[in-house]
């Protein structure tokens, strides 16, 4: 006998998540997601973080946002960049997505059932949904989109054993070999975006070209000038999800009030702030902590402090050179005082960072310090010498990639370069723009250390494309135990069961060091005080914003 799961998953909201719009000159809003995780299947009426104002009229105006950078790709299957996910979320939708509290909710799925043994999912699709090209969304599109997802470069193999079949025009069936956290996998990582069947079939294993960026979201692509701007235009035939009272997370009832959204690449922070002050921009991304007092004092502006923050990390080249050796990677870790790094990142403002060894932060359900003792925040230059000797290191050049596009990357680099060089490691800095840096890193040649940062993750399944053997973001890293734990946590189970596995996985991460984390940087963004409807998030969402 099958057990019916009501399509609405409970929305567990914290008071701090309800983003009452901050006014200029007042205390900034701080957002903190609730402690939830995939696997919770409580039922409730759909929740929302903000009810839409029924008196707000659609605008023919353009919402101008000044962003640190624009995406190098708009196909989430070929990019792990947060700016890709941010833009893509306006254009594409998925069968399931995450709400404001990081719980899984249906989006293009209407309802679903799960068999008693957890091996069969029957998913009924919403009807009447239209793609940007005017074609109707149905089961054929869903199946083709899922099959294409398996060919993407960021695909981690999570759905390899899952069989997807058509039951009816608006019903599909998933058959699993073993239980999986399926709805979470279909939401993230690198969302299984729904695109027309013809496009999916013609782009198997190939990144979507500009003409193929056809989704069902509230906005569609109008113009994309790489490294300059992206312009999105309201999709007038977008079908509102009336099951919800308003938007929540990446789903719910999303309303495109502005006719167009223009996101400009403005790499200099001062230019973003100045444009915000003059009214050239309605929104400015990545406000440096040095501008905190300036923004708060301006009654025409509003500022947000966002938690959980961004994890400041370096990634290692596991395909060539000394960073293939765990002794060398441990030496790099023990040569660093993370406090110095994080103070550099936040311009000496300790209120905008915290030391934290966990990939999942204290506000999140999967937070744990397992495995970090003795390696994180444990600077020991004598031990560094021992480890360098064990790695047969004799002063060879170690190429470190960093950039100025992200202020935190450059600031972290200044501190790291100095500390590593003082520890006897011959660091050779290579400063590039972010796009070039990413291209060099993905080539797996000519570098050892890659400066990066990780936005907050919703669920451990999102870590697969960062550290699983053979994935793009692992940079050559491979470890059987890591793969085993990733598989175990991907099978689903209760929150407690998955947390127990995650603790083992993080312990193994600190044993093997696929990457090295230094701490959490709390990000700031700002907007004109008359902008309403914006809900702060580490991934900016501009549907629902209005005057």
Count: domains in the chain: 1
CA–CA gap between residue 207 and residue 78 (Å, rounded): 6
CB contact at 8 A, 264 and 229: yes
The candidate with the shortest Cα–Cα distance to 263, out of 520, 36, 84, is: 84
Tokens found for residue 35: 């402690």
State the sign of the Cα–Cα–Cα–Cα dihedral 157, 470, 77, 89: positive
Between the alpha carbon of residue 496 and those of residues 119, 366, 368, the distances in Å are: 21, 10, 13
What pLDDT does residue 54 have?
A: 54
CB contact at 8 A, 358 and 367: yes
What pLDDT does residue 96 have?
A: 95
Q: Is residue 394 part of a domain?
A: yes
pTM for this structure?
0.68
CB contact at 8 A, 330 and 380: no
What pLDDT does residue 189 have?
A: 52
State the residue range of the domain holding 361. Answer: 309-522
What pLDDT does residue 520 have?
A: 97
Q: Is residue 161 part of a domain?
A: no
Residue 278's SS3 state is: helix
Greatest Cα-to-Cα distance within the chain, rounded to the nearest angstrom: 70
CA–CA gap between residue 478 and residue 435 (Å, rounded): 25
Q: Is residue 15 part of a domain?
A: no
Domain harbouring 325, CATH code? 3.10.105.10
What pLDDT does residue 50 have?
A: 54
Q: Is residue 369 part of a domain?
A: yes
462-497 pLDDT per residue, tens: 888 899 999 999 999 999 999 999 988 887 766 788
% of the chain at pLDDT higher than 70? 89
The candidate with the shortest Cα–Cα distance to 153, out of 474, 471, 476, is: 471
Q: Is residue 389 part of a domain?
A: yes
Strand partners, 385: none
- CA dihedral (506, 508, 510, 514) in degrees, to 10, reads -100
What pLDDT does residue 52 have?
A: 57
**Average pLDDT for consecutive 10-residue bins of the chain (547 residues)?**
34 29 34 34 36 75 95 86 89 92 88 91 98 99 97 85 97 94 80 96 96 98 95 98 94 97 96 98 92 96 90 98 99 99 94 94 89 98 99 99 95 99 99 96 98 88 89 95 92 78 97 98 94 89 94
Q: Is residue 459 part of a domain?
A: yes
What phi, psi does 185 have (nearest 5°)?
A: -60, -35
Q: Is residue 204 part of a domain?
A: no
Tokens found for residue 14: 């914290």
CB contact at 8 A, 99 and 33: no
Burial of 366 by CB count in 10 Å (0-12 exposed, 13-18 middle, 19+ buried)? Answer: buried
The candidate with the shortest Cα–Cα distance to 521, out of 433, 408, 426, 419, is: 408
Q: Is residue 420 part of a domain?
A: yes
Tally Cβ neighbours within 10 Å of residue 279.
11
């Amino acid at each position: 006998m099958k057990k019916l799961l009501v399509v609405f998953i409970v929305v567990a909201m914290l008071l701090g998540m309800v983003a009452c719009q901050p006014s200029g000159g007042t205390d900034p809003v701080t957002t903190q997601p609730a402690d939830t995780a995939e696997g919770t299947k409580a039922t409730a009426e759909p929740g929302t973080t903000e009810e839409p104002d029924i008196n707000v009229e659609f605008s023919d105006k353009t919402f101008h946002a000044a962003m640190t950078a624009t995406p190098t790709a708009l196909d989430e299957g070929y990019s792990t960049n947060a700016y890709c996910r941010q833009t893509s979320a306006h254009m594409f939708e998925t069968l399931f997505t995450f709400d404001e509290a990081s719980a899984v909710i249906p989006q293009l799925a209407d309802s679903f059932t799960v068999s008693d043994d957890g091996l069969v999912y029957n998913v009924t699709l919403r009807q009447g949904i239209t793609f940007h090209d005017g074609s109707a969304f149905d089961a054929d599109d869903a199946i083709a989109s899922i099959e294409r997802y398996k060919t993407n470069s960021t695909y981690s193999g999570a759905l390899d054993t899952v069989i997807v079949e058509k039951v009816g025009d608006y019903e599909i069936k998933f058959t699993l070999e073993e239980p999986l956290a399926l709805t979470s996998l279909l939401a993230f990582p690198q969302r299984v975006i729904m695109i027309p069947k013809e496009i999916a079939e013609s782009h198997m294993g190939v990144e979507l070209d500009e003409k193929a960026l056809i989704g069902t979201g509230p906005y569609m692509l109008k113009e994309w000038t790489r490294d300059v701007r992206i312009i999105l235009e309201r999709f007038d035939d977008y079908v509102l999800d009336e099951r919800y009272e308003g938007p929540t997370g990446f789903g719910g009832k999303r309303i495109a009030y502005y006719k167009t959204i223009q996101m400009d690449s403005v790499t200099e922070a001062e230019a973003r702030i100045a444009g915000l002050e003059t009214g050239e921009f309605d929104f400015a991304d990545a406000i440096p902590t040095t501008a905190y007092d300036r923004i708060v004092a301006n009654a025409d502006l509003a500022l947000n402090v966002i938690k959980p923050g961004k994890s400041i990390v370096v990634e290692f080249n596991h395909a060539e050179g000394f960073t293939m050796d765990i002794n060398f990677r441990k030496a790099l870790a023990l040569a660093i005082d993370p406090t110095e790094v994080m103070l550099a990142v936040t311009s000496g403002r300790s209120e905008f960072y915290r030391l934290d060894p966990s990939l999942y932060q204290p506000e999140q359900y999967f937070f744990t310090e397992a495995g970090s003792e003795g390696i994180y925040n444990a600077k020991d230059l004598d031990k560094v010498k021992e480890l360098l000797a064990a790695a047969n290191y004799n002063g060879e050049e170690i190429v470190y990639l960093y950039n100025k596009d992200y202020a935190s990357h450059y600031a972290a680099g200044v501190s790291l370069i100095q500390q590593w060089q003082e520890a006897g490691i011959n660091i050779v800095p290579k400063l590039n723009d972010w796009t070039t840096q990413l291209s060099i890193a993905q080539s797996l040649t000519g570098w050892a250390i890659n400066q990066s940062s990780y936005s907050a993750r919703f669920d451990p399944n999102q870590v697969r494309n960062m550290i699983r053997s053979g994935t793009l973001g692992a940079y050559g890293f491979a470890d059987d135990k890591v793969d085993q734990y990733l598989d175990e946590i991907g099978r689903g189970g209760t929150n407690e069961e998955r947390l127990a596995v995650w603790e083992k996985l993080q312990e193994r991460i600190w044993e093997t060091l696929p990457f090295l984390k230094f701490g959490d940087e709390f990000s700031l963004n700002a907007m004109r005080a008359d902008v309403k409807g914006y809900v702060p998030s580490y991934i900016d969402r501009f549907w629902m914003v209005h005057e």
